[in-house]
Amino acid sequence: MNDGLSVYDSYGNIVEDNKVNGKPLVYLEDESDKIIDDAGLVILIRCKNITVMNAELTNTDVGIELWQSDNCLISQNNISNNWVGIDLDDSNNNSISNNNINSNWDGISLYESNDNIIYLNNFINNIYNAISYDSTNIWNSTEPIKYTYRGSEFKNYMGNYWDDYTGSDANGDGIGDTPYSIDSDKDNYPLIERFENYFVEAPTPTPSQTFDTGRPENPYPSISGKFIGTIKTNKKIIAKKLYTYACAGTGGHTEHALICNKTWCAYAEWEGYKGDWMNISFNKTVILVPYETYNITIVTGSYPQIHHTSSLQTENGFINCTEFTDANGNKYENWIPAIMLWS
């Protein structure tokens, strides 16, 4: 309670079944392609492609700590009243955005961590908003973003909101005219107000914005069965069809599929080996909102290609396996049919 765990130059540990302030203490070593969306404290050691989001991390030593962990996403978290909000040690190419980081001793601290992208975060009431030792990072979006500020539309690179920024905004675009200094680093596009006040516009969905698992390097073993799992995207996906990748020389297809959240379901059913038989159409347009979890059920026929993993990261999000029951009744937790949702 009101404490926690931190790690420095230490690994090969077993840390399990602990809680911090009533929430799970998530400690991962040498893991990849996982989503953490409910935790009291998060420690990632030598991990890759981990997503930490929608968490309330408060009253502990370090809210989120990365040590030699790369290509992770930290987004949409509330991180407050900790000794350190986010700590990166020898961790590179991570993305940190849309977080509220307030009332910590150190808001974010980096030690020998480079090429991390940190933007659209609020740093408020921290003793030290940011500390950067021997690190070179990007403290703004990597491309211009459309936004609305005080009734006018703009397009510009966007940094972070710093409550101790003292610069001016002569042209009224909501972006400070002078950089915000962070030791040897700097935010070249500091926000004048909290990022919520800019109403950042998401890109308009296009047919190319599909959810595609792609083909696995080795689709075997494969057999028909029932897949139950979840999908969580990082972009808005609009889909009308589900395509199934078939094993070479087979009729691998999806017999029927169901995608649901708490308020709606969309259903698609196969019509036999005629025409474009590897595609089935949903009875309503499927709209997947970023970072929401959707349940998906796929009943396959013949020999579809299979990803033999419990969690698969795609360009536009994750698909996770809860259970795959094959035609012989065998159950697996690491079989994911190779599919594409598209329009």
Q: Residue 294: how many CB atoms within 10 A of its CB?
A: 23
Residues 220 and 283 in one domain: yes
Which residue, of 198, 219, 245, is where some domain finishes? Answer: 198
Residues 64 and 26 in one domain: yes
Which residue, of 151, 170, 198, is where some domain finishes? Answer: 198
Residues 60 and 159 in one domain: yes
Residue 299 counted as domain residue? yes
Dihedral of alpha carbons 96, 186, 138, 175, sign: positive
Residue 206 counted as domain residue? no
Question: Among candidates 343, 268, 260, which has minimal Cα distance to 299?
Answer: 268
Residue 186 counted as domain residue? yes
Question: Among candidates 151, 150, 181, 184, which has minimal Cα distance to 167?
Answer: 181
Residue 231 counted as domain residue? yes
pLDDT at residue 324, as a whole number: 96
Residues 216 and 330 in one domain: yes
Whole-structure pTM value:
0.62
Residues 149 and 92 in one domain: yes
Each of the 343 residues of the chain gets a pLDDT tens digit; together they read 999 999 888 889 999 999 999 999 999 999 987 878 779 999 999 999 888 877 889 999 999 999 999 989 898 789 999 999 999 999 999 999 889 999 999 999 999 999 999 999 999 999 999 999 999 999 998 888 878 898 888 999 999 999 999 999 999 999 999 999 999 899 999 999 999 888 654 334 344 568 999 999 889 889 899 999 999 998 888 888 999 998 876 778 999 999 998 888 999 999 887 767 889 999 988 989 888 999 999 999 888 999 999 999 999 999 999 999 998 899 999 999 999 998 8
pLDDT at residue 249, as a whole number: 63
Which residue, of 144, 163, 198, is where some domain finishes? Answer: 198
pLDDT at residue 207, as a whole number: 47
Query: 242 is in which domain, residue-wise?
Result: 211-342
pLDDT at residue 145, as a whole number: 82
Q: How far apart are CA 35 and CA 72, in angstroms?
A: 10
b/e map 105-143, b = 16+ CB within 10 Å = ebbbbbbebbebbbbbbbbbebebbbbbeebebbbbbee
Residues 232 and 172 in one domain: no
Q: How far apart are CA 323 and CA 249, in angstroms?
A: 26
Which domain CATH number covers 307?
A: 2.60.120
pLDDT at residue 76, as a whole number: 77
Residue 2 counted as domain residue? no
Residues 33 and 122 in one domain: yes
User: Each residue of 12-30: pLDDT tens digit?
Assistant: 999 999 999 999 999 999 9
Helices vs strands, H then E, count in the chain: 0, 34
User: Each residue of 43-68: pLDDT tens digit?
Assistant: 999 999 888 877 889 999 999 999 99
Residues 122 and 270 in one domain: no
pLDDT at residue 241, as a whole number: 92
Which domain CATH number covers 128?
A: 2.160.20
